[in-house]
Structure 1
Amino acid sequence: MTMMFKAEAFSPHESLAAELIPHATEGDDGSHDLAHILRVFRSAMRIHAAEGGKAHVLAAAVLLHDCVAVEKNSPLRAQASALAAEKASRILRELGWGDEDIADVAHAVTAHSFSANVPPETLEAKILQDADRLDAIGMVGVARCFYIAARLGSGLYDPFDPAAEDRPLDDKRYAIDHFQTKLFKLADGFQTRTGRELATARDKSLRDFLAAFMDEI
C-alpha cells in the first residue's frame, strides 16, 4: 500500500494527510494505529458536515491527535495528549502553519483525551473529542477494549463475580469492568448534537453486547 493510497483515504484532505501520516502514530498499539486515525477522521468529517468548523484545523488535529504513544497503564497517561499537542505544534510550525491555527490544533489535540480532563473550548476540539470517543463505544469499542486488555495482561472477567456485585470494579484486572468504569459513561459527555446522535446508537450496541456476554458466561 503506497503512501499516496493511504493519503487518498483522507479525501478531501489527502495533501495534508500525505504530510502528516508519517507523524501520526508511534509504536505498535493496534488500538491507536492508522486504522483508528482513519475511523476518527471519517467520524469527524461526518460531524463537521453537520456542525461546521475549520476543516483544515480539524483534519490536522485528527491526523496528529495520537502522535505520541503512551500506554494505558503508564503513569504519564494523563499527559499523553499534552505531549501530542507539543509534538503536533512543532510539526505544523515546520510546515509553515500560522500561530493561530497551530494553537487551535494543539488545543483540540490536548482536549480530546478522556484522561486529560481538559474541556474543549472550540468547535474543532469538540468535534475531535466526539469523533475519538465514538471509536471507544459500539462494536469497534468492544474490540478495542479486549485488545487493550490482552495487551496489558488483563483477564476477561472475574469468574466468581463477573458483575462486581461484591467487589470493587477493577478494569486493570478484568476487561469487562471497563464497560462500567469508563465506556458506559462516554455517551453522556458528547459535545455536539451530531455526535450525541451517533453516540446513542453505539452506546446501545455496547450495552447489548455486555448483556449478551453476561448471559453466555
Structure 2
Amino acid sequence: MQNEIDAMLEHVRTVLQGSGAHGFDHTLRVVRLSEEIGAREGADMDILIPAALFHDIARPLEERTGALHEEEGARMAEAYLRSIGYPEDRIAAIAHAVRAHRYSTGIDPATLEARVLSDADKLDAMGAVGIARTFMQAGERGGGIPDAVDHIRAKLLNLKDLMYTKTAREIAAKRHALLVAFLAALEEECVPAQ
C-alpha cells in the first residue's frame, strides 16, 4: 500500500507544481491533518489518504477555466486510481470525499472519511498557516491587508463551528483563538485610513 501512496503523492506533485495558497504544501498539510484526525476517529486510511492527496489536484484547472475543482478532482482521482488498479470498492468513496470536501458547495460528506477530509481542509485555513494562506491568496488576487481581513472575518472565523469530528473541533478551538488574537493585534497596529 505504501508504494501506491508514494506513487499517488508523486502524481499529485507533478500536477500541483506551482506554489500558492492551494499549492502542494497545502495538500501535504491536509494529508498530515487527515492522518492525525483519521487515526483518532477510526477512519479507513485506504480511502482517506488518497482522497486527501487528490482533494485539490484540479485547483490549477479551476483557476484556468472556472471548472469546479472538487468535481474535476474526483474525476481525475477516479481515472488515476483505476489506471493503477486500485481496489474498485474504494474508488467511489474516495471520489465522494473529494467532491464533498469543499464546504461551500453544500455537498454533505456522507462518510467518516469525507467528514475527516472536510475537517482537515478547513483546519488548514485556520491558525497561523490559515492566516499566512489568506494573505497569500489576497496578494495572488491583487488585494491587500483589508481584503485578507475581510476574508478572515467572513469565512475563517466561522470554520470552528463547521467541524464534523470531535478531534477536529479540539484542534479548531486552538486555531480559532489564534485567529481572534491576530485580528485584535492587527486592529491595534493599523492606523485607520484618512
Structure 1 length as normaliser, TM-score? 0.81
Q: Tell me how far apart the structure 2 counterparts of residues 193 and 37 of structure 1 sit (CA, whole Å).
A: 22
Q: Tell me how far apart the structure 2 counterparts of residues 211 and 197 of structure 1 sit (CA, whole Å).
A: 22
**Structure 1, unaligned runs of 5 or more:** 1-12, 158-173
Offset at 1:76?
2.6
Amino acid at match of 2:89: E
1:145-160 equivalent positions in 2, closer than 5 A: 145-157=134-146
Look up the match of 1:104.
Answer: 93
Q: How many residues align?
A: 188
Offset at 1:115?
3.2
Larger deviation: 22-31 or 140-149?
Answer: 22-31
2:108 pairs with 1:119: yes
Q: Tell me how far apart the structure 1 counterparts of residues 152 and 63 of structure 2 sit (CA, whole Å).
A: 17
Q: Tell me how far apart the structure 2 counterparts of residues 31 and 109 of structure 1 sit (CA, whole Å).
A: 18
Q: Is the 8 A contact 1:16 1:60 kept in 2?
A: no
In angstroms, what is the RMSD of aligned CA positions? 1.9
Q: CA distance change for structure 1 residues 15 and 73 in 2, over 3 Å: closer, same or farther?
A: closer
Q: Tell me how far apart the structure 1 counterparts of residues 62 and 153 of structure 2 sit (CA, whole Å).
A: 17
Q: Is the 8 A contact 2:16 2:60 kept in 1?
A: no
Look up the match of 1:19.
Answer: 7
Look up the match of 1:68.
Answer: 58
C-alpha distance after superposition, 1:143-168 (max 9, x if no partner): 000001001101212xxxxxxxxxxx
Q: CA distance change for structure 1 residues 73 and 92 in 2, over 3 Å: closer, same or farther?
A: closer
Amino acid at match of 2:4: L
Q: CA distance change for structure 1 residues 155 and 74 in 2, over 3 Å: closer, same or farther?
A: farther
Q: CA distance change for structure 1 residues 189 and 75 in 2, over 3 Å: closer, same or farther?
A: farther
Structure 2 length as normaliser, TM-score? 0.90
- Aligned to 1:136, the other structure's residue is in SS state coil
Larger deviation: 104-113 or 37-46?
Answer: 37-46
Q: Tell me how far apart the structure 2 counterparts of residues 17 and 208 of structure 1 sit (CA, whole Å).
A: 38
2:157 to 184, 200, 210: 184
**Structure 2, unaligned runs of 5 or more:** none
Q: Is the 8 A contact 1:53 1:124 kept in 2?
A: yes
Offset at 1:14?
4.1
Q: Tell me how far apart the structure 1 counterparts of residues 16 and 120 of structure 2 sit (CA, whole Å).
A: 20
1:13-52 equivalent positions in 2, closer than 5 A: 14-24=2-12, 25-26=15-16, 28-52=18-42
Amino acid at match of 1:56: D
Q: Is the 8 A contact 2:30 2:124 kept in 1?
A: yes
Amino acid at match of 1:94: S
Question: Identity percentage over the alignment?
Answer: 38
- Aligned to 1:154, the other structure's residue is in SS state coil
Q: CA distance change for structure 1 residues 114 and 27 in 2, over 3 Å: closer, same or farther?
A: farther
Q: CA distance change for structure 1 residues 72 and 95 in 2, over 3 Å: closer, same or farther?
A: closer
